[in-house]
Amino acid sequence: MDTQKFVIKQISIFSENRPGRLAAIAHALGEEKINILAFSIAEANGFGVVRALVDHPEKAHDKLQSLGFNIAFTEVIAVKMKDKPGGLYEVAKILGDAGINIEYSYAYSGKEGAVLILRVDHVEDAIKKIKNSGAVLLEKSGFHG
């Protein structure tokens, strides 16, 4: 199975926890006409990590790096959910039953339904298990323009 087509490039940005940092990131991406498909902020005492799926990750990386941001790529996968009550449960149960450990996760409800984005420790293994369990994984081509 070609697992690589399901590996999605997320950008992760180190940010101090002070007003205006998210605006600075979002403004830079807007200027480059980069669309943010999904994002989340993880917060610790004094700093945070902004994680985002964008249509042009390389361009976003170069732009933010040129502005001095500490930015890295992280591999994530995206699982399709039903956009109705119980949708998350169905997917979460599959993951739990398959023994997949989630490092972090966030979700969005878009044009083509609800999507759960997952960061797992063993990506290839997780992709195989999720496929075998019958859940639908989204391909990276659906995200990156």
Cβ proximity to another protein: between 105 and 133 the closer is: 105
Query: Whole-angstrom Cα distance, residue 123 to residue 138?
Result: 14
Q: Which is nearer to another protein, 23 or 44 (CB)?
A: 44
| Positions that interact with another protein (CB under 8 A) | 10, 12, 14-16, 42, 44, 46-47, 49, 51, 68-72, 74, 103, 119
Residue 4 vs 70, nearer CB to another protein? 70
- Do 91 and 38 touch, CB atoms closer than 8 A? no
CB of 12 to another protein, least distance (A): 4
CB of residue 123 to another protein, shortest distance in Å: 13
The nearest distance, CB 68 to another protein, in angstroms, is: 4
Q: Which is nearer to another protein, 2 or 16 (CB)?
A: 16
Q: How far is CA 10 from CA 28, 44, 73, 76, 112, in A?
A: 17, 20, 6, 6, 19
Query: Within 10 Å of residue 92's Cβ, how many Cβ atoms?
Result: 15
| Six-digit token string for 14 | 């180190």
Q: How far is the CB of 17 from another protein (least distance, A)?
A: 10
The residue count for the chain: 145
